[in-house]
Chain A
């Protein structure tokens, strides 16, 4: 089991959700985050104050998957999130020690497998 963390552009979220859906990845959570990954800063001006927005808006997907779903998930994130410009984001894959489904107490692979998918 792995936790796949994908940080993507907010304007690509719908594309990412769509490609994840097509890859049959069902369980996920997402949060709006701010970050910096080397992309060019955006300049904004408010009256006399000019600022460079050093942090840009991103959306962070967290998807816990069984081993067979790791690659499809990564592919879907790449496919949905890519524009080819700097700032498309990153994917981090980290090992998961234990997963528990609260409702049933199932653990590990059966806990990350969506109901009805097995």
Chain B
């Protein structure tokens, strides 16, 4: 071990990194359950694609733009292609810089995957790959720099423990822009689109919650108090959001719904993400209740609009992240976090600093994503054709089905020519 590296911190961060990586396939499962069966694989594959694309862009340039010395807006090129990212401790932590890079990479991956929820069931796979590569560089990396890499939000005192700015608000408001540019699915608003497997949705939400302990618990980069607080708050807030959602569901429709429960888990996890290491456990429980209400309202209202933000990334991530960021400004307590107080403990300035982030982040994420997709749309069509959309993107984009029966499947010989010959003979015999 290099000098200055702490064994306990490093051991935990190795585990936390793996936990966060699991969240991306978990998100794939969550999303796949929410779409129609003919788009199961395509939806899942958009998340799997982020595992490939965002890791590469992050190693090549994203990490450097987020976490190397630069100006207030964006970092520099000092760590491009992982230059100087090695076993020496990352500044401000006692874990190797290389591990710090990997942990942050898993954040970039899941955030890129999150945006896909806005465009599933109709966006072409190829353009999505290009979009996710560019998005991870021009939207995620600068926002990570603003919040964590020494950028202007961090410099002016905005607190964001685990990603209210670059992860939750960035993905939520980018999703809104993406939904507007790509446009609604055919027959949206005319025909009901039902989730095809609620069990996937619940299992995906459960795995996301599990991974979130690494996401929030690891964002203290140590096994210190802030990490313990963040870890425990990641249990408390989603549980309270879940209970609140039950009540809202009962009041609205007299049933506690499974898809609603899965959504509530996500909303709770998202809300506590920025605040995890800054607010007391009691306030974390209150946050679960507070955050559930606006997200619930938006998720109920959005399908009545013309905006086909298909999987409600805005309602679940953008809005809950927004609430979480502001909540820090109200109830952060220095007796718990040792860093800053919120408004009710006497520092109204903190609320102002949080509010700046809650305005600037959505504006940047929405604007850049909107322009990026408009430009990409000039080069290549973003949408599948009406026919492709009708038969489903699993077959169109991947040549596979999620639920293939195998009935009527004729094995194609490895030597194509032989098969053609055989087929000709068979046809002759039939005639």
Which residues does A use to contact B, with CB under 8 Å? Answer: 9, 11-12, 14, 34, 36, 41-46, 49-56, 83, 85
Nearest B residue to A46 via CB reads: B400
Tell me the B54-89 residues at the A interface (CB within 8 Å): none
**In the complex, how many residues of chain B place their beta carbon closer than 8 angstroms to a beta carbon of chain A?**
19
Nearest A residue to B412 via CB reads: A50
Which residues does B use to contact A, with CB under 8 Å? Answer: 187, 191, 387, 390-392, 395, 399-401, 404-412
| Bound: A44/B391 CA distance, A | 14
What are the 9 tightest A-B residue pairs by CB atom distance, in nearest-first order? A55-B408, A11-B390, A51-B409, A54-B408, A50-B412, A52-B410, A54-B410, A44-B399, A11-B391
CB pair B411 A49 closer than 8 Å: yes
CB pair A14 B191 closer than 8 Å: yes
Chain B residues with CB under 8 Å of A45's CB are 399-400
Chain B residues with CB under 8 Å of A83's CB are 387
| Bound: A114/B396 CA distance, A | 41
CB pair B391 A51 closer than 8 Å: no
Least distance between A90 CB and chain B CB atoms (Å):
18
| Bound: A54/B419 CA distance, A | 14
Chain A residues with CB under 8 Å of B401's CB are 44
| Bound: A42/B399 CA distance, A | 8
Contact A52/B412 with A44-B404, A46-B404 known, Cβ cut-off 8 Å:
yes
Least distance between A98 CB and chain B CB atoms (Å):
34
Given contact pairs A14-B191, A50-B411, A50-B412, enumerate 16 new A-B contacts (beta carbons under 8 Å). Answer: A11-B387, A14-B187, A34-B408, A41-B410, A43-B399, A44-B399, A46-B400, A51-B409, A52-B412, A53-B410, A54-B408, A54-B409, A54-B410, A55-B407, A55-B408, A83-B387
Contact A51/B395 with A11-B390, A44-B401, A45-B400 known, Cβ cut-off 8 Å:
no
- 6 pairs, CB–CB < 8 Å, chain A vs chain B: A34-B407, A44-B399, A44-B409, A45-B400, A51-B411, A55-B407
